[in-house]
Amino acid sequence: MKTLLPYISTPDDLRALPAELLPGLACEIRDFLIDKVSARGGHLGSNLGIVELTIALHRVFRSPDDVLVFDTGHQAYVHKILTGRRAAFDALRCRGGLSGYPSREESAHDHLDSSHASTALAYADGMAKARRLAGDDTRAVVAVVGDGALTGGVAWEALNNLGAARQRPVIVVLNDNGRSYAPTYGGCADHLDRLRDGGGVTVFESLGLRYLGPVDGHDIPALEQAMRAARELRAPVVVHCVTRKGRGYDPAEQDLDEHLHAIPVTDPATGKPVGTGRSTWTQAFSQHLCELGARRHDLVAITAAMPGPTGLAAFGRRFPGRMFDVGIAEQQAMASAAGLAMSGLHPVVAIYATFLNRAFDQVLMDVALHRLPVTLVLDRAGITGPDGPSHHGMWDLAALAVVPGMRVAAPRDAVRLCELLEEAVEHDGPTALRFPKATAEAEIPPAGSVGDVDVLSSNGQDVCLVAVGPMAGPCLSAAALLSSQGVGVTVVDPRWVIPVSADLRKVVCGSRLVVTVEDGIAASGAGALLRQVCRPGQHVLNLGLPCSFIAQGTRSELLTEAGLTGQGIALAVREELKRWPL
């Protein structure tokens, strides 16, 4: 059979294709996705499920004049294939390569850099307002949103505004596969279940939007017919498309937990990861939380739609009544955690560090203001790698540094992770524990201690390297290099990095140069706090990440670029010593 995909480089090419050839094209796209995403890692299940829907969108709407906005942009791989970026998939999520999300730098067909959930409807609302003010009512604004994203409050804020604006013709394409990472829970999910069964008035119509559907999301003619009808309505409308996540790839369809939502490098024949099998930070946390849960019946866990990726799935299986999935709703997670803590329980809220930004107000005003015993576990802290600037968890230390009463721990290895998690859940106020997306570091036992501060090595007091969490290994490497050049170096790990403890102030007071090393923003994180409390005349150098949006790449590549390796740290110290000789 003649292949079609090599001849489809633009939406115009797609629209010129006879309708009877489209099912074959869909199969080719699925084969292409399985091949390329398995080789590089990325979001597979969600893209396999949206193939026919994306084909229909590009045949009915004329991108980029018609705006297509993808919520939680990991579902935009097919959109990228159909808009001229097929050849770039060999460098998917690589340094300088194709982004795993829509990217305005890549294509005029991408109108925003979308990667966090529940925001597309608000973007579309604003775009439609701007077009109406400009007198432009010919071009469509289409927002593609998954049912999982409808668990987020921002989506409903936008629907509330759209429903009241009958002359703002935003087309909401609801890609309903019953899942986010895991199955979608809550009243909205139950409502969509009823709509799939053909029952009742929809919540969308009650809000003032028109409703079309449900439509088989894998039937291209039916999808095209529904999209054309939606455009002709010239009013805010929801087109409800029912799809199957992971469609066409047996390993994804059989993976009932996540349908291979996001995968590492994988054997395409089996769908199994290719790797060493070394334990990750997340796995170490997951195991120890279960052990704590068996001992402490007041311990409860909260996830924002990510029980698997954050390590809470095992806790949920073992203690099903004590784990709560609130959907893609970090604000709800934190505020409900406050309510649980007020009622005598100790909640552990496990979220990605980058998503802490979305719940900052609740951390500050609902948890910290009430001095509540809530523990945040921030997975993917620091540099996360190929997911790029929206997913680096690099703002958590800067944000938590200004929260009164907040204590933040950064373990250097899995042993310390378990120790610090136990200390966190014993504390009577708010705490946070942060660790990276990586294999767990080999144990680094302390050479000594001063109170809560671990001394990792001591070979003089010229320079004190203060290592934040997993930066301990690079700091020890830097100390060895510097010591071989006659510089006396002590390396310490504060363990609890916020606030600055009296023990840490005591440890660093005898060094002429104090160097803090963290995988957060150097100018406003844990090191900046230490600088504020050091004795007058003591010189402090803060090493960390720049205050900028860091591109995608491997964790190793990006840490090297930021100078957060043994050699990079040693070089920075030597340069500083030239300016401030001992």
The parent domain of residue 122 ranges over 5-256
For range 61-86, the mean pLDDT: 95
Cα 554 to chain centroid, rounded: 15
3-state secondary structure of 87: helix
3-state secondary structure of 255: coil
Q: How far apart (Å, rounded) are the C-alpha atoms in residues 368 and 405? A: 7
Residue type, 41: G
Percent of the chain with pLDDT strictly greater than 70: 99
Up-side HSE of residue 223: CA atoms within 13 Å toward CB? 25
Up-side HSE of residue 434: CA atoms within 13 Å toward CB? 35
Tens digits of residue pLDDT in 506-561: 999 989 899 999 999 999 999 999 999 998 889 999 999 999 999 999 999 999 99
Q: How far apart (Å, rounded) are the C-alpha atoms in residues 58 and 80? A: 11
User: Is 245 assigned a catalytic role?
Assistant: yes
The confidence score (pLDDT) of residue 179 equals 76
Catalytic entry in 52, 224, 258, 330: 330
Report if residue 263 sits inside a domain: no
Q: What is the value of pTM for the model shown?
A: 0.94
Binding-site residues for Mg(2+), please? 147, 177
pLDDT band at residue 2 using 50, 70 and 90 as cut-offs: low
pLDDT band at residue 449 using 50, 70 and 90 as cut-offs: very high
Tens digits of residue pLDDT in 297-308: 999 999 999 999
Catalytic entry in 86, 245, 247, 380: 245
Q: How far apart (Å, rounded) are the C-alpha atoms in residues 255 and 576? A: 53
pLDDT of 165 > 90? The answer is no
Q: How far apart (Å, rounded) are the C-alpha atoms in residues 218 and 464? A: 61
Q: Which of 453, 525, 533, 457 is nearest to 496 (CA)?
A: 453
Q: What is the mean pLDDT of the chain?
A: 94
User: Is 330 assigned a catalytic role?
Assistant: yes
Tens digits of residue pLDDT in 77-116: 999 999 999 999 999 999 999 999 999 999 999 999 978 8
CA torsion angle 305 47 60 24 (round to 10): -150
Report if residue 272 sits inside a domain: no
Claim to verify: residue 452 and residue 527 sit in the same structural domain: yes
For residue 280, give every residue at least 6 positions away whose Cβ sits within 8 Å of its Cβ, in sequence order, or none.
437, 438, 439, 440
Among 256, 289, 324, give the residue marking a domain's end: 256
Catalytic entry in 358, 412, 434, 555: 358
Claim to verify: residue 452 and residue 428 sit in the same structural domain: no
Binding-site residues, please? 74, 115-117, 147-149, 177, 249, 330
Among 240, 256, 272, give the residue marking a domain's end: 256
Claim to verify: residue 127 and residue 234 sit in the same structural domain: yes
Number of domains observed in the structure of the chain: 3
The confidence score (pLDDT) of residue 198 equals 81
For residue 136, give every residue at least 6 positions away whose Cβ sits within 8 Å of its Cβ, in sequence order, or none.
none
Backbone angles phi, psi at 205, to 5 degrees: -65, -35
For range 461-475, the mean pLDDT: 97
CATH number at residue 213: 3.40.50.970
Binding-site residues for thiamine diphosphate, please? 74, 115-117, 148-149, 177, 249, 330
Report if residue 20 sits inside a domain: yes
The residue whose two tokens read 């363990």 is: 495
CATH number at residue 510: 3.40.50.920
Backbone angles phi, psi at 69, to 5 degrees: -115, 125
Claim to verify: residue 220 and residue 294 sit in the same structural domain: no
Claim to verify: residue 291 and residue 384 sit in the same structural domain: yes
Q: Between vectors from CA 548 to CA 543 and to CA 554, what angle results, nearest 5°?
A: 75
First to last CA, the chain: 75
Q: How far apart (Å, rounded) are the C-alpha atoms in residues 566 and 465? A: 11
pLDDT band at residue 276 using 50, 70 and 90 as cut-offs: low
The confidence score (pLDDT) of residue 1 equals 54
Q: How far apart (Å, rounded) are the C-alpha atoms in residues 554 and 95? A: 7
Claim to verify: residue 505 and residue 570 sit in the same structural domain: yes
pLDDT band at residue 22 using 50, 70 and 90 as cut-offs: very high
Q: Tokens at residue 535, please? A: 């004795």
User: Is 358 assigned a catalytic role?
Assistant: yes
Q: Tokens at residue 376, please? A: 């945040």
Claim to verify: residue 410 and residue 514 sit in the same structural domain: no
- The answer to whether 289 touches 315, Cβ cutoff 8 Å, is yes
Among 385, 403, 434, give the residue marking a domain's end: 434
